């Protein structure tokens, strides 16, 4: 600054020498500075208005702005627009917005019933001890305030012995006080964990009910990242409920008991006991009202932030899951762009919250730190300034002591009163501040309640077969009467009937194949799969071959007709599905073969390691058992090759020996000789094959063929074994 001012002085001198007055020079300097400041302040707004106008005209109101004008960022904004539109669709589906309303109370009470299922349970025990600790902490605070008042009184009176005695008491009380403080935190954490455990158990139960983990992500569009809601959101919700309990009840106890203590000391000072509390209540009520009016909608903001954070994690986990595919494709640019979009949207939301908090916290602090302190000072001084007499405790001493001694005693009494009241007031102000700031927490809790309760609602609905998808809701399509809609949602009118054990055939009676988006792939299927009738399923891509398996396995709802399937008998599944990309579970080699059985199931079935070894031999994987024994836990997804993984999946088929095997191109990576021997062995075991394949070498293992034409029609007929049939099939 000094350098600049010297430089300015030198220019001014030069200007004066050339005939320009210093005043004129100053005007010019200030004018140009103001001009520069105006340009600096208005330029970004002008730029934003221009670009937002441009976007309003060209791309609709919800398009996010590009970060700069570069082509890349324009593309990013375009992609983000799609993302925003998807979010909007989702929001429209969910309709209700989080906030302090009836819906929030209803959702919270439903969640409280899950977290505290009975009047007498572990959680109520914790709550009782927690409440007792909170009450005793308040009594201790009042006692400590009184002790501090007495300490000051004895200092003013110069009574060393009394001072030392009270100081000792003060130190003595510190031990239970600190223990109670620490206990409050401990109990709060225990309570949060207990609530979380109850919620997690409940939601896990729902998540795994009726294949909900599949339905939520595939058939319903309301929850995009169930993993985030099941982990992060439940944890934050439980902590926030436990924290709110103490941050609401403790200040209430504090206020009640401190108010009584203050009134008692005002009475001792023979002052009006109502004027102080009346003043404070008026000021607090007024400031609370103002804060409530100007408070931003933190519930919505927090809920949106959690949504965006969840989406960011979802993108990350997709990249981790599909790392190899992305690397082969060299798709890092696209993935990076998606990550940047997700992160930018999170940052925008966080910045929004920070900015809104900045002004709100400023106002809050002004009220709580300054306005309330001022009111507190007036409150404390009122009994002394308006008190008609000396404190009651000192009135008895005034007859035996001299006037100067009595005066000194009155001063010390007033000092004690002031110190005690001040300490009590500080605690009370702290309590009110906590109560007021709890409002923010309550609003934030509304956001988490909305997400957790919303998740449980969706789980309940999907487990009952009620789905909601934006794409379905938005299309008012003609489904030729196959799908019936109620309130914009399709109704699964079809029935699954489990037949008795002696009927082993699978029957489809006028069942349509309908995708989760309500696209009709095949309008009506009437078929009968009998044991020993090996069916080859064929047709062009996307004609509904895998969808038929999804319907047989009960993954997709049936919108009409009837499906008759045999009931599982003696723990033996009726159908066993093997996909093209087999799933490798966490665990040992043994766990891979017996999946989805557990070790206990395996023991119950009496299957030994030797039998597992011979199963591995049947699929030519015996070398794996020699390399790693059955117990070593490995990451089988990465260790085994594509073909080995497919053979491992077939090993599961030989372990479970189901009535029907649903084989969805499950040997596409297996060499032809091993594949043929696998099919031969499966047939010899009495397993009926329902095979989707594009390999002509497999035709000989089947007796019937189900052909889809891709236009919704199909043909089911006996397969002819002559060469002509084979050629026809190859085409």
Ligand X SMILES: Nc1ncnc2c1ncn2[C@@H]1O[C@H](COP(=O)(O)OP(=O)(O)OP(=O)(O)O)[C@@H](O)[C@H]1O
Q: Cβ of residue 471: shortest distance to ligand X, in angstroms?
A: 8
Distance from first CA to last CA of the chain, Å, rounded?
86
Using DSSP's 3-state secondary structure scheme, residue 692 falls into: strand
Angle 515-518-520 from CA coordinates, rounded to 5° = 70
Q: Which is nearer to ligand X, 258 or 563 (CB)?
A: 563
Q: Which is nearer to ligand X, 380 or 470 (CB)?
A: 470
Chain contacts with ligand X (rule: CB under 6 A): 218, 515-517, 521, 541-547
Query: Which of 97, 85, 88, 86 is closest to 454 using CA atoms?
Result: 97
Q: Cβ of residue 516: shortest distance to ligand X, in angstroms?
A: 4
Q: Cβ of residue 93: shortest distance to ligand X, in angstroms?
A: 17
Q: Quote the DSSP letter at residue 557.
A: P
Yes or no: say if 480 and 523 are a contact pair by the CB < 8 Å rule: yes
Burial class (CB in 10 A: 0-12, 13-18, 19+), 403: exposed
Q: Which is nearer to ligand X, 436 or 470 (CB)?
A: 470
Using DSSP's 3-state secondary structure scheme, residue 222 falls into: coil
Q: Cβ of residue 515: shortest distance to ligand X, in angstroms?
A: 3
Q: Which is nearer to ligand X, 98 or 516 (CB)?
A: 516
Q: Cβ of residue 521: shortest distance to ligand X, in angstroms?
A: 5
Q: Which is nearer to ligand X, 187 or 521 (CB)?
A: 521
Q: Cβ of residue 694: shortest distance to ligand X, in angstroms?
A: 8
Q: How far apart are CA 712 and CA 709, in angstroms?
A: 7
Q: Cβ of residue 480: shortest distance to ligand X, in angstroms?
A: 17
Q: Which is nearer to ligand X, 221 or 310 (CB)?
A: 221
Q: Quote the DSSP letter at residue 486.
A: E
Query: Which of 242, 302, 234, 297 is closest to 454 using CA atoms?
Result: 234
Q: Which is nearer to ligand X, 522 or 615 (CB)?
A: 522
Task: Write down the residue that tokens 């599944």 correspond to.
Answer: 573
Q: Which is nearer to ligand X, 644 or 665 (CB)?
A: 665
Q: Cβ of residue 339: shortest distance to ligand X, in angstroms?
A: 24
Q: Cβ of residue 549: shortest distance to ligand X, in angstroms?
A: 8
Rg (CA), the chain: 38
Q: Which residues contact 447 (CB under 8 A, 6 or more apart)?
A: 98, 298, 299, 300, 301, 302, 303, 306
Angle 640-642-647 from CA coordinates, rounded to 5° = 80
Q: Cβ of residue 64: shortest distance to ligand X, in angstroms?
A: 28
Yes or no: say if 196 and 238 are a contact pair by the CB < 8 Å rule: yes
The CA–CA distances, whole Å, from 385 to 95, 281, 295, 366 equal 58, 20, 37, 27
Q: How far apart are CA 620 and CA 661, in angstroms?
A: 19
Cis, peptide link before residue 40, omega less than 30° from 0: no
- Give CA torsion, residues 185, 187, 193, 198, to 10 deg: -150
CB atoms within 10 A of CB 177: 17
Q: Cβ of residue 467: shortest distance to ligand X, in angstroms?
A: 11
Q: Which is nearer to ligand X, 541 or 684 (CB)?
A: 541
Distance of CA 641 to the CA centre of its chain: 36
Task: Write down the residue that tokens 């489904």 correspond to.
Answer: 479
Q: Which is nearer to ligand X, 159 or 519 (CB)?
A: 519
Q: Which is nearer to ligand X, 124 or 711 (CB)?
A: 711
């Amino acid at each position: 600054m000094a350098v600049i001012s010297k430089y300015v002085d030198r220019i001014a001198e030069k200007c004066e020498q050339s005939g320009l007055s210093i005043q004129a020079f100053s005007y010019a300097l200030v004018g140009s500075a103001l001009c520069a400041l105006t340009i600096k302040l208005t330029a970004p707004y002008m730029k934003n208005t221009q670009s937002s106008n441009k976007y309003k005209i060209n791309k609709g109101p919800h398009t996010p702005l590009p970060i700069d004008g570069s082509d890349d960022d324009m593309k990013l904004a375009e992609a983000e627009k799609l993302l925003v539109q998807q979010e909007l669709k989702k929001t429209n589906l969910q309709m209700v917005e989080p906030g302090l309303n009836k819906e929030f109370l209803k959702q919270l009470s439903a969640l409280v019933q899950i977290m505290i299922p009975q009047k007498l349970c572990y959680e109520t025990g914790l709550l009782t001890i927690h409440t007792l600790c909170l009450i005793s902490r308040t009594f201790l605070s009042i006692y400590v305030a009184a002790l501090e008042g007495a300490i000051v009184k004895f200092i003013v009176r110069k009574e060393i012995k009394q001072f030392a005695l009270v100081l000792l008491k003060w130190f003595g009380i510190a031990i239970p006080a600190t223990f109670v403080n620490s206990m409050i935190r401990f109990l709060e954490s225990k309570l949060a964990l207990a609530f979380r455990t109850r919620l997690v158990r409940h939601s896990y139960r729902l998540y795994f009910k009726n294949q909900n983990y599949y339905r939520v992500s595939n058939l319903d569009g309301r929850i995009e990242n169930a993993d985030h809601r099941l982990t992060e959101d439940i944890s934050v919700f439980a902590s926030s409920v436990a924290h709110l309990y103490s941050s609401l009840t403790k200040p209430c106890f504090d206020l009640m008991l401190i108010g009584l203590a203050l009134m008692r000391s005002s009475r001792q000072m023979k002052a009006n006991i109502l004027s102080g509390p009346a003043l404070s209540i008026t000021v607090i009520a007024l400031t609370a009202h103002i804060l409530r009016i100007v408070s931003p909608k933190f519930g919505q903001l927090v809920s949106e932030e959690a949504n965006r954070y969840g989406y960011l994690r979802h993108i990350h986990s997709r990249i981790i899951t599909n790392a190899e595919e992305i690397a082969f494709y060299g798709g890092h640019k696209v993935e990076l762009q998606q990550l940047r979009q997700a992160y930018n949207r999170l940052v925008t939301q966080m910045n929004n919250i920070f900015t809104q908090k900045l002004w709100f916290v400023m106002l809050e602090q002004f009220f709580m730190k300054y306005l309330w302190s001022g009111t507190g000072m007036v409150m404390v001084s009122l009994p002394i300034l308006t008190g008609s007499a000396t404190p009651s405790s000192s009135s008895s001493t005034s007859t035996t002591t001299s006037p100067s001694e009595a005066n000194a005693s009155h001063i010390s009494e007033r000092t004690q009163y002031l110190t005690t009241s001040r300490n009590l007031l500080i605690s009370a102000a702290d309590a009110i501040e906590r109560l007021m700031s709890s409002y923010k927490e309550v609003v934030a809790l509304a956001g988490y309640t909305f997400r957790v309760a919303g998740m449980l609602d969706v789980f309940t609905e999907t487990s009952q077969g009620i789905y909601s998808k934006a794409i379905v809701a938005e299309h008012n399509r003609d489904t030729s009467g196959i799908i019936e809609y109620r309130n914009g949602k399709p109704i699964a009118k079809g029935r699954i009937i489990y037949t008795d054990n002696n009927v082993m055939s699978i029957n489809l009676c006028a069942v349509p194949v309908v995708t989760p988006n309500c696209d009709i792939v095949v309008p009506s299927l009437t078929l009968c799969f009998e044991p020993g009738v090996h069916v080859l399923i064929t047709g062009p891509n996307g004609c509904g071959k895998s969808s038929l398996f999804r319907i047989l396995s009960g993954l997709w709802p049936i919108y009409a007709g009837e499906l008759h399937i045999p009931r599982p008998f003696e723990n033996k599944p009726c159908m066993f599905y093997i996909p093209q990309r087999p799933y490798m579970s966490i665990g040992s080699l043994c766990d891979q073969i017996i999946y989805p059985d557990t070790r206990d199931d395996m023991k119950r079935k009496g299957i030994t390691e030797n039998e597992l070894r011979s199963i591995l031999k049947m699929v030519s994987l015996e070398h794996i058992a020699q390399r790693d024994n059955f117990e070593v836990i490995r990451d089988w997804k990465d260790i085994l090759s594509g073909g080995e993984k497919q053979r491992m999946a077939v090993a599961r088929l030989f372990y479970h020996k189901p009535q029907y095997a649903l084989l969805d191109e499950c040997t596409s990576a297996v060499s032809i000789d091993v594949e043929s021997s696998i099919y031969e062995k499966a047939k010899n075991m009495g397993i009926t094959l329902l095979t989707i394949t594009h390999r002509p070498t497999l035709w000989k293992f089947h007796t019937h063929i189900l052909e889809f034409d891709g236009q919704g029609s199909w043909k089911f007929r006996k397969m002819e074994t002559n060469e002509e049939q084979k050629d026809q099939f190859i085409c």
